Amino acid sequence: MRKQCLLVVSMILLFFCSLAWGENLPWEIKLPFKEATIHYELTGSEQGKETLYVKEYGKLRAKHRQATATMMGMTKKTETVEIVDPDWMYTYDLVEKKGEKTTNPRKIYLTEYNKFNAEEKKNFEKNAKELGTSMMGQFGGSVQQKAGKMLGYDCDITTVGGMSTVHLLHGTDIPLRSEVAIMGMNNINAATKIDTSAAIPGNAFAPPQGINATLNQEAENMMAGMIQHTMDTLKKPDGAKQMQAAGPMGIIGAGGMEKGMQQGMKDEGMSPEEQQEMMRQMNEAMQQMQKKQPKK
């Protein structure tokens, strides 16, 4: 549950970052290479290796990850495969032999955007760019374009509340280095090689044998509710002002996200006390990001 909540919040921030600083809308992002294999090394609370395969300029992605995480003196090994295509995001746990899927958020954004008339699209693009810069500020974050280089590629450096620093391949959502310190986790994920010439293994995008991916309805509801709320707000002439007034904590309640989180925790068998503690931790993390916002 905690991982899913953090994933949704991270997705929101990356979306607004893309809107504010990218030349294209987030669902139009195109990588500088048609195919590539990116190798990563994981250090910190979690140690291991990760390999990201991309095809069709990023429309198809597969991430293979093997790691060992240590928290509170306990060690846990993980092995996962994540596959993204234009329609779905699949996650397979090779240790627990489980799989799940959710709709690719870009598909939901694009579907909602295509419902707009010409005036609403114009409002959305204006509001989204305005909101992108202010929202990063509300989270105590910032974006510096082409502020660094990694493996010969320009990187945009994004920081959020002093809790994370991410070097994104310029103009894209591909991280080449990320440092995250939140909720007791301190992790560094750094690319060590980008290979654009080697052939991608034929099974890189194949689902693991014997594991079926079922729809994660909880994550689907959280994501769809948040996106629909955001798009419905930003299509209005004063959409950016409405979102700014709500602030970071407004995201948790947006589109029934808080209700979806609570229902998901209930479905996982958490007691009312455990649910309350999880929500407290999420609120605390959001508040800490606000506190780290530079004073004007």
pLDDT mean values, one per 10 residues, the chain (296 residues): 48 54 67 96 94 96 93 84 95 95 90 95 86 59 86 89 83 90 80 96 94 90 82 90 70 50 54 63 54 46
* Alpha helix ranges (H) inside the chain: 2-21, 105-113, 118-138, 217-234, 239-253, 257-267, 272-291
Position 10 scores a pLDDT of: 52
Question: Is 121 a domain residue?
Answer: yes
CA–CA separation, 223 and 12 (whole Å): 9
Residue 273: CB atoms within 10 Å: 8
- The predicted pLDDT at position 66 comes to 97
Strand 153-160 with 164-169, pairing: antiparallel
* In a domain? residue 102: yes
**Four-CA torsion 99, 109, 18, 220, nearest 10 degrees:** -30
pLDDT at 160: 74
Please give the pLDDT value at position 268.
52
The pLDDT of residue 69 is 85
Q: How many domains are there within the chain?
A: 1
pLDDT of res. 292: 46
Structural domain harbouring 141: 2-291
Residue 98 lies in a domain: yes
Question: Can you give the pLDDT at residue 294?
Answer: 44
Residues 183/281, Cβ–Cβ less than 8 Å? yes
Quickly count helices (H) and strands (E) in the chain.
7, 12
| Domain-located, residue 151 | yes
Q: Does the residue 267 lie in any domain?
A: yes
Residue 28's pLDDT is what?
74
CA 230: distance to chain centroid? 16
**Within a domain: residue 296?**
no
The closest alpha carbon to 193, from 150, 146, 149, 147, belongs to 150
pLDDT at 269 (0 to 100): 55
Question: Is residue 153 situated within a structural domain?
Answer: yes
Whole-number Å distance between alpha carbons of 288 and 230: 23
Angle at 226 between CA 223 and CA 232, to 5 degrees: 135
- Confidence (pLDDT) at 27: 72
Q: Can you give the CATH number for the domain in which 281 is found?
A: 2.50.20.10
The reported pTM is 0.79
Domain presence at residue 239: yes
Q: What is the pLDDT of residue 225?
A: 82
Residue 246 confidence (pLDDT)? 72
Cα-Cα end-to-end distance for the chain: 35
What strands, in cross-sheet order, belong to the sheet with 88-93?
141-150, 153-160, 164-169, 175-182, 185-195, 36-44, 46-55, 60-71, 74-84, 88-93, 98-103, 213-215
